[in-house]
Amino acid sequence: MDKPDAQMPPRPTAPKIQLPKGACDAHVHLVAGRDDFPLWEGRVENPAPGPNFNQWLSLYQQHLDIMGFERGVIVHSILYGTDNSVTVAAVRRMGRNFKGVGLLPDGATETQIDQFAEWNMCAVRLNYVHGGVLTWDGAKAMAPALADRGLHIQMLCHADQHMDALAADIKSLPVPVVFDHITWPTQGLAADGRGIDTLCALLDSGKIWIKLSALYRMCDAPFDAAAKLVERLIRTNPDRCLWGSDWPHLMLNGADMPNGADLLDALDNVASTQDRQKIFVDNPKALFKFAD
């Protein structure tokens, strides 16, 4: 059966917020032309038709330049399954200020994890929402090997469905866990919703990090519905918050295609200048080990 095509992201516009020097967009995906890298048979959509890999890299650089970013983290897309090659190539081409987050399956060998680290990957991603090749048990078993190589676990989950059950395991892991997309609550974006107290306790402890990303998947622009939750996360521990655009906004599943500047400007009333320095510069530098 034919797969639907993803949409092209809009041309970036400059945000109202002026980012500090060295700012990092900590969550994007890189795709390519249909024939540039092998697509996974189980994908739910194709990359947007038209650009080849080099052109997608140019579009990504344009996004970074107009928004004001100098560093980035490229998260491997499930459109390519466990073949990390498109992400590895993108990280290599973008250079020293860029890191990758990739996929490894349950039972990955020490040799596979060594290769993963050599590719300039900083984390392995676990999708607790849609499933995939890595389970929570597999991630826990892999954690000591990740710790030995300075890697961490990045996880997509639903706070209201998963956080309370995950907390004890997270506390005992030898690596930090980075949660995507403000933990994507499915029962509303209340700052005191189910699982949020547990999330904030973990955040306050410094055991986890959280990406203030993909608000467009949970509410419409100007994203006011998420403001109180985002503000609570920042107030709980601004030293463990990151920001990501989720560009080029794959697998929208009915959400409106966002403008990256609007996503960035959603922080305008909830993050101080000091907070922004931490969220965009200091925190990513510490977690992803960017060089000066």
Q: Buried (b) or exposed (e) across 41-76, using 16+ Cβ within 10 A?
A: eebebebeeebebeebbebbeebbeebbbbbbbbbb
Section 79-98 average pLDDT: 97
Residue for token digits 């590895």? Answer: 88
Give me the pLDDT at residue 1, please. Answer: 56
**pLDDT category of residue 130 using cuts at 50, 70 and 90:** confident
Q: Which of 250, 242, 215 is nearest to 56 (CA)?
A: 250
Tell which CATH classification among 3.40.50.1000, 3.10.310.30, 3.20.20.140, 2.60.120.10 matches the domain 24-288.
Answer: 3.20.20.140
Section 144-164 average pLDDT: 97
Partner residues linked to 99 by β-bridges: 73
Q: Where are the domains of the chain?
A: 24-288
Look up residue 75 and give its two tokens.
């998260």
For residue 225, is pLDDT > 80?
Answer: yes
**Within 13 Å of residue 143, how many CA atoms lie on the same side as its CB?**
19
CB 122 within 8 A of CB 100: yes
Cα dihedral across residues 229, 218, 282, 70: positive or negative? negative
The rounded distance, in Å, linking the Cα atoms of 126 and 166 is 13
For residue 131, is pLDDT > 80?
Answer: no
For residue 31, is pLDDT > 60?
Answer: yes
Q: Strand, coil or helix: what is 173?
A: coil
Give me the pLDDT at residue 128, please. Answer: 85
User: What percentage of the chain exceeds 90 in pLDDT?
Assistant: 95
The rounded distance, in Å, linking the Cα atoms of 84 and 265 is 32
Q: What is the mean pLDDT of the chain?
A: 96
Q: Give the count of beta carbons closer than 10 Å to the beta carbon of residue 18.
A: 10
Give me the pLDDT at residue 53, please. Answer: 98
In 79-238, DSSP assigns E strands to 98-102, 121-127, 152-156, 177-179, 208-211
